[in-house]
Amino acid sequence: MRAATLLWAVAAPAQSRPNVILITLDTLRADRVGCYGYAGVQTPVLDALAGDGVRFDRAFSPVPLTLPAHCSILTGTYPIYHGVRDNSGFFLAPDHLTLAEVLKSSGYRTAAFVGAFVVDSKFGLGQGFDHYFDNFDLSRFENISPGYIQRTGDEVVKETIRWLESNRDKTGAPFFLWTHLYDPHDPYTPPEPYRTIYKGNPYDGEIAFTDANVGTLVSWLRAHGLYNGSLVVVAGDHGESLGEHGESKHGFFIYNATLHVPLIIKFPGGVYAGRRIAESVSLVDVFPTVLQILGTGGSGGAKIQGRGLLPLVLGKATGHRPEIYAESYYPRLQFGWSELRALITDKEKYVLAPRPELYELGSDFQEIRNLAVRQSGLANKLRDRLRDLIRRYSPAKVSPARSGLDPETREKLQSLGYISLSMGNTGTEDFQRLRDPKDEIGTYNEITGLFETGASGGYRAVIPRYRQLLKIQPDLKILHYKLGQAYYHTGDYEAALGAFKRAVELGGDVALATFDLAQTYLKLNRADDAIIGFRGTVDLDPTHYRARTNLGLLLRSQGKVSEAIAQLEAAIALAPSSVIALSNLGISYSMAGRHADAEASLRKAVSLAPRDGLVRANLAAALHRAGKEEEARAEMEIARKLDPRIGRK
C-alpha cells in the first residue's frame, strides 16, 4: 500500500472522526426511486435518507458496467485513466490509490461486503480493505455468466452487521464500510412479498427489496447510536435500460437510462438535510467529496479526476462548469463495433460516435431528438471539448489492467466465455471506420439471445443463425468463435476447426480461440497440431495454466518427459491447487525416476481431492515404482472403494 497521510489525521482524536459508510446499489435508475419522483415502487428508506441528507438530482455514472463503475467510485478517476473498461478480463492495477487505502492510512478500519462476483476482490478492488467479504465459489457454477453469480442483499447486510457487531467496540478508531447490493441487476427475481406486490414489474420488486435491506442496515446504525454521526453515501453504480433506444439491460449504450443514478449524501450530524443539487455531477466526485467532508486538505497522494461537491452543497460553486465524461467500450471490445464516449454538461450531452449525437438535457432528458446535425456548430465545440478532456484524463503510462487476474480465475472465466475478445488498441480514434452501435442494436439483441441459447445447451439450434449473421458481417470475430464452440459441442470438429481458425485470423486477443483450436485438434487425434496450438496459446498468454497442462500431457505421451515436466511445473507455479496438473506432474516425475518428487506432488493432489479415486490410483502407481509396496496397496484399496471402475480387467 502506498503511503497517504490525511492532514487532520494526527491532530484530530479518533473518536471525533466520523465513520464513513458507502452503500452502492447496483443497476438502479434514479427515476425508479420515490424521492426522485417515481410513484411505482415504495422506497421509504432511500427517501428518508434523502430527507436527512443532500440529494443530487443529476448524478451520472462514467460507465454502465459494474466493475469499471466501482473502480471509478473507489479511485475518483474515469475508466480512461484507471484502465478498467469492461467487466470481462480487466483488473484494477495496484498503482491506483483507492479511497479505502487513503482512509486506512489515517487510522480507519476498513471493510467491504459485496453482492456479486464481478466486484470480487480478485479484480483489484480489495486494495486498502482490512476485511473483504466476497467468497464466491466458482466451482459451483457451470454454463452461467459470472454476471449472474451473486448473493442476495439480505445476506450481504447480514454479513455487514456481523462485522459491525464484532468490531465496533474494539478500538476507538472510526471505520470505513462499503456495502454493495446487487439485487436490481437482472435476472429480476425478488423474494416474497415483493414478487407478489410487484408481479407486473419484477425490476421494481428488486428495488423495493433493496430498499428494505438498506433499511435493515440503517436501523442497526440507529439502534447503536452510529447513524447520526456518520457520513453515509448512497449511490447507484449505473442504471438499467428498460427498452429505451431498443436496449434492454445495460452496457451497450450510454443514454441516460443507464447513466443517470441516485446519489445521496447524509452528512454527520444531519447538516444540510433536505438540500437538492440540480447541477450535473459524476460518481468520480464521490472520492474527493468524502475527503472534503472529512476536512482533509488533499487527496492523500491519489490522482483524482473528480471534483469535491461540498462547494455545490454550500452554494459557493461560482463559475460552476461541469465537464463529465462517460463511455462504453463494450460494443468494441466484444463485437468490434465503435465505442461510445460522451461529454455531459448542465445543459447538453454530446456523444462521440460514427454518427455523433447531441441532446438538450433540459427539454429532452430521454434523448429522443438528436440535434447534432441541426446544431452542428455547438456539436463541434462540444466534440473538441470532449477530445481535450480525453487527452487530459488519459494517463501518460497505461496500467496493465489485464494482467492482475490469478490464472485459476482467468481459466474459470474463459471456460464460461467471459474473457473479452479484445479488438486491440482502445485508445485510438479510428471509430469512424467501425459500425455505429445505433445501427447494430437489433443484431446485438439477437446475438446475446443466441449466446444464452447456446449457454443453456442449445448449440445445434444456434448454428444456422450464426452462419447467416456472418454472411452479413463476416469479420465479426466473436461470432466465429461462438460458432466454433457450437460446432465443437455438437461433435462437428472439422467445422469447429474452420470457425476457430477464422477467429484467430481476425486478430486481437486470440489466446482463447487458439486454445480451443488446439482442443479441437486433440479431439481429432491430431496430436502434433494440438501441440503447436497449445504452444501458441502459451506464447500468447503465458499464464494459461490449462494450455501448459495439456501441452505437458501430450509431450509426455510422445516420450518427451523432461519437456513435459517443465510445462507441468510451470502450470503448478501458476495454479498451485490444480489437481489435474499436480497429478500429472507426479506421474511424470515417477516416469523420470524422481520418486520423492512424484510422491510429494501426488500426495498434495490427494489432499486437494481426497475423494477422487483416479488420483489415489496414480499415487499408488507412483509408490509402487518407488518400491513402497505396502503403501501402494493401501492407496489402491482406497482408490477402488472410491471408484469401482479402477482395476477392472
pLDDT tens-place string over residues 284-295: 999 999 999 998
Q: 365, 393, 421: which is the final residue of a domain?
A: 393
CA distance 44 to 230: 20
Reported as a pLDDT band with limits 50, 70 and 90, residue 84 is: very high
pLDDT tens-place string over residues 441-458: 999 999 999 998 998 899
CA distance 330 to 65: 9
pTM for this predicted structure: 0.87
* Same domain for 450 and 369: no
Identify whether 415 is part of a domain.
no
Identify whether 429 is part of a domain.
no
Q: Is the predicted pLDDT of residue 555 greater than 50, yes or no?
A: yes
Identify whether 408 is part of a domain.
no
Q: Is the predicted pLDDT of residue 558 greater than 60, yes or no?
A: yes
Query: How many folded domains does the chain comprise?
Result: 2
Percent of the chain with pLDDT over 70: 88
Task: Identify the pLDDT of residue 8.
Answer: 33
* Same domain for 295 and 219: yes
* Same domain for 609 and 512: yes
Which grid coordinates belong to 400? 496493465
* Type of residue numbered 473: Q
Identify whether 603 is part of a domain.
yes
CA distance 148 to 464: 27
pLDDT tens-place string over residues 2-42: 333 333 332 344 457 999 999 999 999 999 999 999 999 99
State mean pLDDT over 483-510.
Answer: 94
Task: Identify the pLDDT of residue 505.
Answer: 94
At CA 620, angle to CA 616 and CA 624, rounded to 5?
A: 170
Identify whether 121 is part of a domain.
yes
State mean pLDDT over 86-108.
Answer: 92
* Same domain for 218 and 341: yes
- CB atoms inside a 10 Å sphere around CB 414: 18
Closest CA to 272 of 22, 52, 48: 52
Residue with cell 502407481: 621
Task: Identify the pLDDT of residue 3.
Answer: 35
* Same domain for 497 and 349: no
Q: Is the predicted pLDDT of residue 420 greater than 70, yes or no?
A: no
* Same domain for 458 and 362: no
Containing 407, the helix (H) or strand (E) segment is helix 407-415
Task: Identify the pLDDT of residue 12.
Answer: 41
* Same domain for 341 and 447: no
Mean pLDDT (the chain) is: 90
| CATH code at position 494 | 1.25.40.10
105 or 433, which is more confident? Answer: 105
pLDDT tens-place string over residues 232-255: 999 999 999 999 999 999 999 999
The residues that bridge with 150 in the sheet, in sequence order, are 116
Task: Identify the pLDDT of residue 455.
Answer: 83
Residue with cell 482395476: 647
Closest CA to 455 of 495, 415, 422: 415
Which grid coordinates belong to 114? 459485496
* Same domain for 179 and 277: yes
Quote the domain boundaries for residue 41. 16-312+319-393
* Same domain for 456 and 380: no
Q: Is the predicted pLDDT of residue 166 greater than 70, yes or no?
A: yes
pLDDT tens-place string over residues 615-640: 999 999 999 999 999 999 999 999 99
* Type of residue numbered 329: Y
Q: 358, 393, 428: which is the final residue of a domain?
A: 393
Burial of 471 (0-12, 13-18, 19+ CB in 10 A): exposed
Among 48-52, 205-209, 541-545, the range scoring the smallest mean pLDDT is 541-545
Q: Is the predicted pLDDT of residue 201 greater than 90, yes or no?
A: yes
Closest CA to 576 of 404, 407, 414: 407
The residues that bridge with 232 in the sheet, in sequence order, are 21, 266
Identify whether 96 is part of a domain.
yes
Task: Identify the pLDDT of residue 9.
Answer: 36
State mean pLDDT over 94-121.
Answer: 95
Among 298-312, 374-388, 414-428, 627-641, the range scoring the smallest mean pLDDT is 414-428
Q: 393, 421, 449: which is the final residue of a domain?
A: 393
580 or 430, which is more confident? Answer: 580
The residues that bridge with 360 in the sheet, in sequence order, are 348
Reported as a pLDDT band with limits 50, 70 and 90, residue 425 is: very low
| CATH code at position 51 | 3.40.720.10
CA distance 369 to 365: 10
Identify whether 419 is part of a domain.
no
Render 582-595 in DSSP notation, one character per residue: HHHHHHHHHHTT-H
Closest CA to 597 of 576, 563, 622: 622
Helices (H), ranges, 83-201 = 99-105, 153-167, 194-197
Who's near 382: CB < 8 A, 6+ residues apart?
Answer: 343, 345, 348, 350, 358
State mean pLDDT over 106-121.
Answer: 94
The residues that bridge with 264 in the sheet, in sequence order, are 55, 234
**Edge-to-edge strand order for the sheet containing 231-236?**
131-133, 109-113, 175-181, 20-25, 231-236, 260-266, 54-60, 275-282
CA distances from 16 to 6, 88, 433 (A): 14, 42, 57
Closest CA to 24 of 58, 86, 67: 67
Task: Identify the pLDDT of residue 507.
Answer: 84
Closest CA to 123 of 51, 54, 71: 71
State mean pLDDT over 51-63.
Answer: 98
- CB atoms inside a 10 Å sphere around CB 470: 16
State mean pLDDT over 335-357.
Answer: 96
* Same domain for 222 and 350: yes
Q: Is the predicted pLDDT of residue 564 greater than 90, yes or no?
A: yes
Are 46 and 262 within 8 A, CB to CB? yes
State mean pLDDT over 190-212.
Answer: 97
CA pseudo-torsion sign 245, 248, 252, 255: positive
Among 20-24, 65-69, 313-317, 422-426, the range scoring the smallest mean pLDDT is 422-426
The residues that bridge with 281 in the sheet, in sequence order, are 59
Identify whether 423 is part of a domain.
no
Task: Identify the pLDDT of residue 405.
Answer: 62
Residue with cell 500468447: 540
Q: What are phi and psi of 57, to 5 degrees?
A: -70, -30
* Same domain for 332 and 229: yes
* Same domain for 462 and 349: no
Which grid coordinates belong to 582? 499436480
Name the DSSP letter for residue 113: E
